[in-house]
Structure 1
Amino acid sequence: MKATDQYFDGIADKFVRNIYGTTKGKLRHLLLLESIQPFLDTPAQRIIEIGGGTGIMARELAVQGHHVTLTDASRDILNLAADLLHDFPQVDITHCPLQQIQQLDSYDLIVCHAVLEWLAEPFDALQFIAEKMRPGSRLSLSFFNRDAALFTNAVYGNFDYIARGLKVKNQVRLNPTNALRPVDVINFVEQQNMTVLAKSGIRCFHDYMKNKPESDDIFEQLLTLERQYRAQEPFCWMGKYFHLMLEKN
């Protein structure tokens, strides 16, 4: 059976609880927001967020004064985004799969976080974005780290799963289907005439903890540690997600 892109219609509420109602989701959002902050150095940038989901990142960018176009392939997800963003007229919401987005060359910054791993052909999608960008524009890209996924499953003794190439027997809709190796993505984007401006791991420690933080104090200590080491080798390569800031040459 041919693989297809994975959307979240019918499970939007479950998706929100699983991602943003947990310490892993909170950490991912905070660290990604901080990772792109140094590149929001000019006011009122034109930003498009591909696969922006419920609009949490779009809202943060709008608060800073940027004009944001939020796209997603799931209507159910965008209904939640519309509720969150109803007080932000500078955010446009568009129901559109990645491959149908038009005029990417009109944006200063493209945000594509945690999207590629849900696609049947992630490198085709990445090539599509790179080809449509204008020189000098930037891409904030994050994706599920295959190396970190393998390491995590080895720690937990899931050897059969590793032997199957990290493919489950029965696919769960909230499990990414196409984790990517950071070195492969870096090599690919450099071939697409893009320069890596910054790289960092997202959740380099959290997902390996036996006991996840249950108090605000422990969470803040972990956040401090994640901030300190996310851009340092070898720790950055072990982030459950990997973030790249890229510029089109």
Structure 2
Amino acid sequence: MKATDQYFDGIADKFVRNIYGTTKGKLRHLLLLESMQPYLESPGRRIIEIGGGTGIMTRELAQQGHHVTLTDASEDILKLAGEFLHDLPQVDIVHLPLQQIHTLDSYDLIVCHAVLEWLAEPFEALRSITEKMPAGSQLSLSFFNRDAALFTNAVYGNFDYIARGLKVKNQVRLNPTNALRPADVIEFVGRNDLKVLARSGIRCFHDYMKNKPDTDEVFEQLLTLERQYRSEEPFCWMGKYFHLMLEKT
């Protein structure tokens, strides 16, 4: 059966709870926002967030004084985004799959976080973005790290899952279908006129912890550690997500 892109219609509420109602979601959001921050210092940037979901990141960007267009392929997700962002006139919400975005000429920053791993052809989607980016524009790209996923499953003894190439027998809708290796993505963007400005691992330690943070104090201690090592080797390569800041040459 041919692989298809994965959207979240019908499970939007569950998606929000599983992703953003946990320490892993909170950490991912904070670390991504901080990794982007050096590229957000100029006010009034024109930003498009591709696959922006319920608008958690869009809200942060808009509150910093930027004009943001939020797109997503899921109508259910965008209903939640509309409620969450209703008080921000500098935000536009558009129901649009990544592949149907015809031009990016009017944006100087493209945000695409945790989208590629849900697509049947992630590299084709990434090629579509890079080809439409104007020279000098930037791309904030994060994706589910296949190397980290393999390591995590080895630690937990999921050897059959690893032997199947990290493919489950029965697909769970909240389980990414196409994790990517950071080395492969970096090699790909280098061949497609994108320069790497910065790289970092997102959640280099959290997902390997036996006991996840259960108090604000422990969470802050972990956050400090994640901040310290996210851009340092070898730890950056083990982030459950990988983040790249890229510029079109």
Q: TM-score range by the shorter chain?
A: over 0.9
* 1:97 partnered with 2:127: no
Partner of 2:70: 70
Report the Cα distance in structure 1 between the residues aligned to 2:148 and 2:229, rounded to whole angstroms.
Answer: 15
Post-superposition CA distance 1:166-207 (Å, at most 9, x none): 000000000000000000000000000110000000000000
Post-superposition CA distance 1:110-132 (Å, at most 9, x none): 00000000000000000000000
Report the Cα distance in structure 2 between the residues aligned to 1:5 and 1:102, rounded to whole angstroms.
Answer: 18
What runs of 5+ residues in structure 2 fail to find an aligned partner?
none
Partner of 2:176: 176
Partner of 1:188: 188
- 1:106 Cα deviation (Å)? 1.2
Q: Give runs of aligned pairs for residues 131-170 of structure 1, distance below 5 A.
A: 131-170=131-170
Report the Cα distance in structure 2 between the residues aligned to 1:10 and 1:113, rounded to whole angstroms.
Answer: 21
Three-state SS of the structure 1 residue aligned to 2:88 is coil
Structure 1 counterpart of 2:57, which letter? M
Report the identity percentage. 84
Three-state SS of the structure 2 residue aligned to 1:71 is strand
- 1:41 Cα deviation (Å)? 2.4
Report the Cα distance in structure 1 between the residues aligned to 2:126 and 2:31, rounded to whole angstroms.
Answer: 22
Three-state SS of the structure 1 residue aligned to 2:68 is strand
Structure 2 counterpart of 1:153, which letter? N
Partner of 1:213: 213
Report the Cα distance in structure 2 between the residues aligned to 1:94 and 1:103, rounded to whole angstroms.
Answer: 14
Report the Cα distance in structure 1 between the residues aligned to 2:134 and 2:207, rounded to whole angstroms.
Answer: 36
Q: What count of residue pairs does the alignment treat as equivalent?
A: 249
Partner of 1:25: 25
Structure 1 counterpart of 2:56, which letter? I
Structure 2 counterpart of 1:6, which letter? Q
Report the Cα distance in structure 2 between the residues aligned to 1:16 and 1:113, rounded to whole angstroms.
Answer: 15
Report the Cα distance in structure 1 between the residues aligned to 2:93 and 2:102, rounded to whole angstroms.
Answer: 14
Three-state SS of the structure 2 residue aligned to 1:214 is coil
Report the Cα distance in structure 2 between the residues aligned to 1:20 and 1:193, rounded to whole angstroms.
Answer: 33
Report the Cα distance in structure 1 between the residues aligned to 2:162 and 2:35, rounded to whole angstroms.
Answer: 30
Three-state SS of the structure 2 residue aligned to 1:36 is helix
Report the Cα distance in structure 2 between the residues aligned to 1:231 and 1:76, rounded to whole angstroms.
Answer: 35
- TM-score, structure 1 as length reference: 1.00
Structure 1 counterpart of 2:207, which letter? D
Report the Cα distance in structure 2 between the residues aligned to 1:121 and 1:112, rounded to whole angstroms.
Answer: 15
Q: Give runs of aligned pairs for residues 94-133 of structure 1, distance below 5 A.
A: 94-133=94-133
Three-state SS of the structure 2 residue aligned to 1:106 is coil
Partner of 2:7: 7
Report the Cα distance in structure 1 between the residues aligned to 2:108 and 2:141, rounded to whole angstroms.
Answer: 14
- 1:43 Cα deviation (Å)? 1.1
Three-state SS of the structure 2 residue aligned to 1:104 is coil
Three-state SS of the structure 1 residue aligned to 2:105 is helix
Backbone CA RMSD of aligned residues = 0.4
What runs of 5+ residues in structure 1 fail to find an aligned partner?
none
- TM-score, structure 2 as length reference: 1.00
Three-state SS of the structure 2 residue aligned to 1:245 is strand
Report the Cα distance in structure 2 between the residues aligned to 1:56 and 1:193, rounded to whole angstroms.
Answer: 30
- 1:101 Cα deviation (Å)? 1.0
